[in-house]
Amino acid sequence: MHGFAVRELKRRYDVEIHAGKIPMPKKLLISRIRDKDGLICYPYDKIDSDVINAGNKLKAISTFSVGYNHIDVNAASERGIVVSYTPEVLTRATADLSMALVLSLFRRINEGYEIIRKNEWKTIFGPYEFLGTDLYGKTLGIFGMGRIGKAVARRASGFEMKILYHSRKRLSSLEEKKLDARYVSLDELFRRSDVISIHAPYTPKTHEIVNLKLLKKMKKASFLVNTSRGKIINEKDLIVALKKKMIAGAALDVFQDEPIDISNSLTKLKNVIITPHIGSATVETRREMAEITIKNLILSLGGKRPVYQVKVESGRLGLS
C-alpha cells in the first residue's frame, strides 16, 4: 500500500498490516480478522465465507482492484458488510496494455528483441523476412464491452481497425455508433476476428468459457489477448491450440495460477507473449487505485456509500 494511504489510515484507525508472505495464509487471516472493522485486500487474497464469517465486527471490505471475483460477495451481503472496489481509474492503463500486446503480436516485437538478444540477427532482412501484419483494416473482437472493452475499442479505432464485440449486455445503438462497434454472438466473434481481446469479468458463467471448441473456430492467422482473468481461458486447451498452430499466437497478462510456473508451456512457446499481471501497473493508476481504496473504506466505515460499491447481482459472484 502506498505510504500516503497508510498514513491516512493510521491517522484515523488502529491499523494492522500484513507484511509477510503473499497471499496471507488463510489461517492467519482468519485469526487476525476477528477483531477488525475493515479489511483492505488484493485479488490474490481469497476472501471466502470462512474469512468473512470470522470477522465478527467486520463492516467493510475494500479491494485494491476492479475485479472482485476473489470475494464471496453473497456471504458479505448476508452479513451486511459493504464491499467496494476500484473501477474507472484503471481503465486507461489496462486498455493501453491490451493495445501494446496487440501491437507486439502483430509486429512481432518480442521475437525481434529475442533474435537480437540471442545474437541471431546475422544478415540484413530481405523484403519477405520477418514480416508482421498491419493493424489497419483488421478485425478486433472484444469479449466484454464494459469500461475497459470500450477504451480498447476507442484505441483500436485510432489504428483504423474494425470492431466486433460480444458482451452480457448489448450496447445502445447510440453507443455502438459512437464506437463504430458491431454486436455479434460469441461464436461469430471467434470466427470473424483477426485478434480477440478479453475484457469480461471472471464469473461462474465465464469460467473457462474460452475452450478448445471456441478456439477451433478462430482463423489460423488470428491472435488471442487476455488482460482480464486467467481462468476465463481453459489454459490446457489454449496450449493445444498454440502448439497445433490452430491460432497464430497469444498475449497473456493473466493466468490460471499466478505467478505462472516456469514449467508451464506458455512460458516456452514461441508464439506467446506473457507479462506478469501488470494491466493496472502504472504510477498514475496505482496511486489513484490507492486513493479510491482508502476512500471506499473510510466512507463505508463511516456508514456512508463508498465511491464504488459492489452490487450484489446474480451471475457476477463466485470465488476464483
Residue 196's CB is within 10 A of a number of other CB atoms, namely 27
Tell me if residue 64 falls in helix, strand or coil.
Answer: coil
Could you tell me the end-to-end alpha-carbon distance of the chain, in angstroms, rounded to an integer?
Answer: 23
Instruction: Single out the residue of 138, 150, 166, 277 in contact with ligand 8YV (rule: CB under 6 A).
Output: 277
Q: Is 38 in the site for ligand 8YV (CB under 6 A)?
A: no
Positions marked catalytic: 229, 258, 277
**Count of CA atoms in the C-beta half-sphere (13 A) of 304:** 9
Q: Choose between 55 and 230: whose C-beta lies nearer to ligand 8YV.
A: 230
User: Which cell numbers in the block locate residue 139?
Assistant: 478485425
Radius of gyration of the chain (CA): 21
Per rule CB under 6 A, is residue 155 in the interface with ligand 8YV?
A: no
Write the CA distances from 103 to 137, 229, 298, 313, integer angstroms: 14, 20, 40, 36
* 43 touching ligand 8YV, by CB under 6 A: yes
- Residue 101 CA from chain centroid, whole number: 13
Span 54-73, contacts to ligand 8YV by CB under 6 A: 64-67
Closest approach of Cβ 21 to ligand 8YV, in Å?
15
Nearer to ligand 8YV, 40 or 210 (CB): 40
Which CB, 20 or 126, lies closer to ligand 8YV?
20
Nearer to ligand 8YV, 50 or 288 (CB): 288
The angle, 0 to 180 degrees and rounded to 10, between the axes of the packed helices 91-107 and 283-301 is: 150
Of 279-318, binders to ligand 8YV (CB under 6 A) are 279-280
Tell me the closest approach of the beta carbon of residue 290 to ligand 8YV, in angstroms. Answer: 10
Residue ranges in contact with ligand 8YV by CB under 6 A: 42-43, 64-67, 90, 277, 279-280
